[in-house]
């Protein structure tokens, strides 16, 4: 498989979990700058999906991260930043309490378009999804609400 195909697969995988969520989507991420991922989350919210995001606090202080996070919060998608760890290095999505997507891909343009990354989608395993949701909830509970700067 060529490097381009690996990148496309990771990007398409990220989009599929975002588009397929019908009831709820929970995202945990390290670096978050991707306009495409932000837009997909906004589209999910517009469909009535309960979307929530928890991110590493230190990795998301730059202008591109702030812009991507502002897109979410301006559309009433709750975002929390967690600075409790040296790095909140999680990169996963749980959709509808049944589908887990995890891997090396950061939610950045480079991570979803250019880097050699991996993403694994596991469907129909609610017990596994519940373990990820428990982890997500613990990171969410320890985070602080992101507020728009204006």
Tens digit of each residue's pLDDT (9 = 90 or more) over 39-66: 999 999 999 999 999 999 999 999 999 9
What would the pLDDT profile of 91-149 be if each residue is shown by its tens digit? 999 999 999 999 998 999 888 778 888 989 999 999 999 999 999 999 999 999 999 87
Give the CA distances from residue 1 to residues 9, 14, 65, in Å, rounded to whole numbers and listed in that order. Answer: 10, 19, 31
Distance CA 73, CA 91 (A): 20
pLDDT band per the 50, 70, 90 thresholds, residue 69: very high
DSSP code for 86: S
Catalytic residue ranges: 89, 91, 96
Distance CA 134, CA 117 (A): 25
Structure tokens at 30: 């390290």
What's the pTM?
0.89
Beta strands at 144-145 and 119-122: parallel, antiparallel or unpaired: unpaired
């Amino acid at each position: 498989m060529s490097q381009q195909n690996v990148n496309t697969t990771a990007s398409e995988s990220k989009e599929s979990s975002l588009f397929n969520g019908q009831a709820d989507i929970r995202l945990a991420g390290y670096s978050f700058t991707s306009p495409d991922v932000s837009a997909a989350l906004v589209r999910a919210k517009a469909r009535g999906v309960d979307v929530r995001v928890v991110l590493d606090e230190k990795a998301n202080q730059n202008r591109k991260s702030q812009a991507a996070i502002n897109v979410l919060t301006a559309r009433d998608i709750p975002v929390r930043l967690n600075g409790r760890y040296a790095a909140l290095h999680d990169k996963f999505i749980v959709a509808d309490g049944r589908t887990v997507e995890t891997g090396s891909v950061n939610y950045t343009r480079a991570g979803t378009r250019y880097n050699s990354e991996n993403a694994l989608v596991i469907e129909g395993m609610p017990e596994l999804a519940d373990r990820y949701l428990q982890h997500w909830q613990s990171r969410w509970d320890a985070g602080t609400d992101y507020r728009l700067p204006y």
